[in-house]
Amino acid sequence: MTKVPRKSSRPLLNKDAPLKGGVRRRPDKSQPQLALDPMPARIEPCLAKLVPKPPVGPQWAFEVKWDGYRLAVHVEPSGVRVITRGGHDWTHRFPTIARAAKVLGTTMILDGEAVVLDDQGRPDFGALQNSLGGRGGKRPAGEAIFYAFDLLYYDGHDLTGMELTARRHMLENVIGDSLATIRLSEEVDAEGDVFFAAACEHGLEGIIAKRTDQPYRSGRLGDWVKIKCIQSDAFFIVGYEPSTAALGGIGRLLLAARKGNDLVYVGGVGTGFKMRETMKLRKDLDNLKTPNAPVPIKRKGAIWVQPTLIAEIEYRAWTDDGKLRHASYKGLRDAQDNADVYELEPRS
């Protein structure tokens, strides 16, 4: 049974009347045009907690889990800044998103995800990486689309204290039904388990569920949760097995996860490679060679490397001895993306 859409009878934004605020604060001298709250330089993002199944209840809203780069787009009088989850300025890497945001006018902070879509309209992380020129690449991602899913600041007002329902309603008025470079990440009016099944059937990575009655809180506190159809996580590359027959001479990448302050070997990946990126990956790995294994294992013929490069790996499950099952390489994560390397739970 589908849920009744949570729509207000009247818009929260009115072009003829500004937003009403509480007690007026002193104007910021560096931003004299703002009547209320000065725009923050950065807001630490709200992160989704991984859970095994969709939550139940009318307080939850559901969206597609986009497979790309988490970004905050700051629209200011002086211009537009595109900021990564780790706080790095990537405006130069997403110029089309910056130009599209400038057209929106006023001042705002949009929270969302940059993706590149495949020919079936699904996000493709590898295609996004290629458009950027790979890890640390200098190319602009001209094909990237920004799916906005939250509005944190608007026209002189800090919105993070408002509940999600109100922020989303305002975001819908700002973005509208645009199918251009900046688009609205739609809420889906369906029960979580039904939506999750449909997302998996269509080959998506998973879904996100968000508490509609909560303010925007930074960190991984459980207000947002993610449910994955296919597991996809980040792991350190600690070595590779050379091959004369494989692309780029890489037979398998050897991977590790975190466990406290240590690294633990979690198996290898030998599929998902593409010729051009694998040739570059081999060169990067050879520049990081080390005589000692970063993890306490023995692997005859393995080339060990410093655990600097972070690979995004898709996999189906874990084996009983703690190794990745049916793993496939998706691409390298950029250090400035602040990707979470997979953390193994300590044994009780």
Give the residue numbers annotated as catalytic, written as ranges. 65
Residue 126: exposure state from Cβ atoms within 10 A (0-12, 13-18, ≥19): middle
Angle value at C-alpha 237, between 230 and 89, nearest 5 degrees: 80
φ/ψ of 269, rounded to 5, equals -140, 130
φ/ψ of 33, rounded to 5, equals -75, -10
- Answer yes or no: are the C-beta atoms of 85 and 338 closer than 8 Å: yes
Spatial CA neighbour of 281 closest among 131, 130, 93: 130
Q: Provide the Cα torsion 259, 264, 266, 271; round to 10°.
A: 110
Could you give the 3-state DSSP secondary structure of residue 277?
A: helix
Residue 104 CB coordination number (10 Å): 17
Residue 281: exposure state from Cβ atoms within 10 A (0-12, 13-18, ≥19): buried
- Answer yes or no: are the C-beta atoms of 207 and 199 closer than 8 Å: yes
Spatial CA neighbour of 265 closest among 292, 298, 310: 298
Could you give the 3-state DSSP secondary structure of residue 77?
A: coil
Residue 319: exposure state from Cβ atoms within 10 A (0-12, 13-18, ≥19): exposed
What distance in Å separates the CA atoms of residue 240 and residue 255, rounded to the nearest whole number?
9
What distance in Å separates the CA atoms of residue 310 and residue 228, rounded to the nearest whole number?
20
